[in-house]
């Protein structure tokens, strides 16, 4: 497969790119800063320098042309203000889905957040973040041309992955290592039966492959 990942230098994306490359898949990571390119090359990924906050749908569709799947793993990141929560966590996700539709890339994964809600109240940065993520989810779900899956991880940690998770429509709050989020994304890419699902993810007791198979089976 060839997979294109938005937010290619993010902590989850770098982990997923390494997993994909070691399994022989072609993987391209969209990055904003040219100086990030060597980090992607070092793990076997192709860097594509493109600013999703200023790119057009046509720009992104050109990158996605011929891909088998698209993964949106971008985020404004900690320390960013409310404006970039809107332009990245919502705006770039909307752009990426529109571009995937234009390029004919059906398989689409969106990394969202536990408690994402398009109507979440409040004006603090985290409130705006949850609202932006929720609005991005609504837009992706509206795309009938996409076989989308939305993954909503809990509190992200840099602890070593355990390979054991709880993956369900609703899990409640909890932490999850970024290693395990990347492992679940890899398994979702290999499991088309998860299309149309919105899934919470936290640490648990079920091996990743079994957890994904269980939700795909309904």
The residues assigned a catalytic role are 129
Instruction: Give strand pairing partners of 6.
Output: 30, 72
Cα separation, 214 vs 206, in Å, equals 10
Q: How far is 22 from 45, CA to CA, in rounded Å?
A: 10
Q: What 3-state class would DSSP assign to 29?
A: strand
Q: How many CB atoms neighbour CB 142 within 10 A?
A: 11
C-alpha–C-alpha distance, residues 169 and 191, integer Å? 17
Read off the DSSP letter of residue 45.
-
SS3 category, 1: coil
């Amino acid at each position: 497969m060839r997979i294109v990942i938005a937010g290619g230098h993010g902590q989850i994306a770098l982990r997923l790119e390494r997993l994909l490359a070691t399994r022989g898949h072609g993987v391209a990571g969209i990055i904003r800063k040219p100086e990030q390119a060597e980090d992607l090359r070092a793990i076997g990924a192709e860097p594509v320098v493109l600013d999703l906050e200023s790119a057009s749908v046509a720009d992104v569709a050109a990158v996605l042309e011929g891909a088998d799947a698209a993964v949106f793993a971008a985020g404004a990141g900690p320390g960013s203000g409310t404006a970039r929560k809107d332009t990245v966590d919502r705006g770039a996700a909307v752009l990426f889905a529109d571009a995937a539709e234009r390029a004919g890339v059906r398989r689409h994964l969106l990394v969202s957040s536990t408690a994402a809600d398009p109507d979440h109240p409040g004006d603090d940065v985290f409130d705006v973040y949850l609202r932006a993520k929720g609005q991005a989810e609504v837009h992706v779900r509206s795309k009938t041309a996409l076989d989308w899956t939305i993954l909503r991880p809990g509190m992200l940690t840099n602890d070593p992955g355990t390979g054991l998770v709880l993956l369900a429509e609703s899990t409640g709050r909890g932490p999850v290592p970024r290693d395990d989020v990347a492992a679940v994304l890899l398994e979702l890419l290999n499991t088309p039966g998860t299309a149309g699902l919105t899934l919470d993810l936290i640490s648990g007791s079920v091996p990743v492959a079994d957890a994904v198979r269980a939700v795909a089976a309904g």
